[in-house]
Amino acid sequence: MIELAPSILSADFARLGEQVRAAGEGGASVIHVDIMDGHFVPNLTIGPPVVKSLRKVTELPLDCHLMIEDPDEFIPAFADAGADWISVHQEAVRHLNRTLHLIKSHDCLAGVVINPATPVETLSEVLDIVDYVLVMSVNPGFGAQKFIPSTLHKMRQLAEIRSQRGLHYRIEVDGGVALDTIADVVRAGAEILVAGNAVFGNGDPSKNTQALLKVATEAAMLKV
Ligand code: DX5
Ligand code: ZN
């Protein structure tokens, strides 16, 4: 099933509730929340208090993408604040197996993320643990960057490994997903589509969400 996950990174933070509601009205079924620490990535964003506030304005699952060092230290706080899904970067975590189990022990779905330069092979020992794999299609840190097409093969590879090994993780993509790239990521096998600038950058988030979902769903139908 194709799902659109608007990233609030490009939203107006002073009108967050309103913007999240609008995206939901347009058909978004997950809200993507980018957590940055100024160390793992060169930018700073938000922490558990904002997740707690978001929890009050939407019933959609909150997909917390942790771009932080030592995520184990903060996973309990994000889970308590109301995160439903928590993903961590392969590149940021020393004991990935332990961290993924920590996320699950807080009753959240556990995801692992790979940067554009990180191969899928680095995940072979955790693919049977994770609920989803997030393929970064830009270098993390900022919204509105250009999609990196060479990441598409990793989505294809993850779909192939899943069927070969009989696994069940879902495939998410994040970065530069917009009207001109969304069909390509769907054809490559991505199912959870994060879009920040394309939803909140210009115009009405509800209409933008609808338009993106339309193109994505059409591409998915043609695929089978
Ligand atoms: C990038 C973040 C993304 C970002 C995507 O570091 O992880 O979630 O908000 O934004 P767009 O869709 O604008 O590339
Ligand atoms: Zn993200």
Helices (H), the chain: 16-25, 48-57, 75-81, 96-105, 152-165, 182-188, 197-200, 205-223
Quick check: CB of 176 below 6 Å from ligand 1?
yes
Ligand 2 ion local residues (Cβ < 5 A): 34, 65, 174
The ligand 1 atom at the shortest distance from the C-alpha of residue 144 is 13
Task: Let me know: does 77 contact 51? Beta carbons within 8 Å.
Answer: no
The ligand 1 atom at the shortest distance from the C-alpha of residue 65 is 7
34 assigned to active site: yes
Quick check: CB of 6 below 6 Å from ligand 1?
no
Catalytic residue among 72, 80, 174, 184: 174
Q: Report the topology of domain 3-223.
A: TIM Barrel (3.20.20)
pLDDT value of position 224: 73
Quick check: CB of 175 below 6 Å from ligand 1?
yes
pLDDT of the chain, 224 residues: tens digit per residue:
999 999 999 999 999 999 999 999 999 999 999 999 999 999 999 999 999 999 999 999 999 999 999 999 999 999 999 999 999 999 999 999 999 999 999 999 999 999 999 999 999 999 999 999 999 999 999 999 999 999 999 999 999 999 999 999 999 999 999 999 999 999 999 999 999 999 999 999 999 999 999 999 999 999 87
Task: Sheet containing 132-136: give its strands across.
Answer: 3-6, 192-195, 170-174, 132-136, 109-114, 85-89, 62-67, 31-36
pLDDT value of position 106: 98
Structure tokens at 17: 């509730």
pLDDT value of position 86: 99
The ligand 1 atom at the shortest distance from the C-alpha of residue 137 is 14
pLDDT value of position 223: 85
Q: Point out the ligand nearest to the CA of residue 175.
A: 1
Contacts of 39 (CB under 8 A, 6+ apart): 68, 69
Quick check: CB of 143 below 6 Å from ligand 1?
yes
Quick check: CB of 137 below 6 Å from ligand 1?
no
pTM to 2 decimals?
0.98
Contacts of 101 (CB under 8 A, 6+ apart): 110, 129
- Give the residue extent of every domain in the chain: 3-223
pLDDT value of position 125: 98
